[in-house]
Amino acid sequence: MTVRTAEYADRGALVAAVAAQIVKDLQAAVSAHGSAILIVPGGTTPVAVFEHLAATPFAWDKVTVVPCDERWVGIEHPDSNEGLIRRHLLQGEASAAGVLGLYRQTATPAEAVDAVAAALAKLPRPFSSVFLGMGEDGHFASLFPGRQQTPAALDLNNKADIMVLPEPAKGHPRIGLTLSALVDCSHVLLAVTGAEKRIVLDRAMADINADTYPIAALLRQTRTPVDIFTGA
């Protein structure tokens, strides 16, 4: 387990630090390959990071943004992660970036798995920057505790890039990247804010079973270092 933790006194400092690291990762990728792939989460803390990035000068036309997971709703829906990205990240300086969304106009996410996996497979690997958040139940992306799909999606030997939750999780069926796909990068950036989430993070880092907290699987894997940004 290679985990590095940095703690910030306030939310603003944490947001600035995460955004700065993302830009550093993207710059390295653009310099080396001429393009960059940025994986991002949904949620409230990412919005502040998105808005910070949107105000940052960069060669955004060379960046493709991909949500790490998606609720099975159209982009106009308030719960859409792609919609969140378009409203808060693809603005200002970052308006030239592209988005590869995970949602397709099918009745269920299972019907779209092949199409989404094919689109994802066309992206250059490793990903340039992978930014994740964590829920108070220890989930990240759409890897929730207690779901029958989660153990396979957390298995690093699982070569599939995409998993689905056919039954609603926090309101909607979902589609998302597997752990093996998410750690296909130089390092993972994990932002954890708030006292309740910090308790969960500490328990997961203390080696509680990943069946209890899926985030433990990310923290235990040795394939890719994890940089944790914590704060109020």
Q: What is the CATH number of the domain that holds 193?
A: 3.40.50.1360
Of 68 and 206, which is predicted with more confidence?
68
Q: Is the pLDDT of residue 36 over 70?
A: yes
pLDDT digits (tens, 9 = 90+) for 122-140: 999 999 999 999 999 999 9
Burial class from Cβ neighbours inside 10 Å (0-12, 13-18, 19+) for residue 62 reads middle
What distance in Å separates the CA atoms of residue 185 and residue 24, rounded to the nearest whole number?
14
What distance in Å separates the CA atoms of residue 153 and residue 181, rounded to the nearest whole number?
10
Number of domains in the chain: 1
- Please, are residues 205 and 220 in contact by the beta-carbon 8 Å criterion? no
pLDDT band of 206, cuts 50, 70, 90: confident
**Average pLDDT for the chain:** 95
> What pLDDT score does 210 carry?
53
Instruction: Tell me which DSSP letter residue 95 carries.
Output: G
Residue range(s) defining the domain that contains residue 55: 3-231
Of the candidates 131, 135, 127, the residue with the CA atom closest to the CA atom of residue 48: 131
Q: Tell me which residue has tokens 């378009």.
A: 86
- Please, are residues 182 and 132 in contact by the beta-carbon 8 Å criterion? yes
> What pLDDT score does 1 carry?
60
- Give the pLDDT mean for 32-48: 95
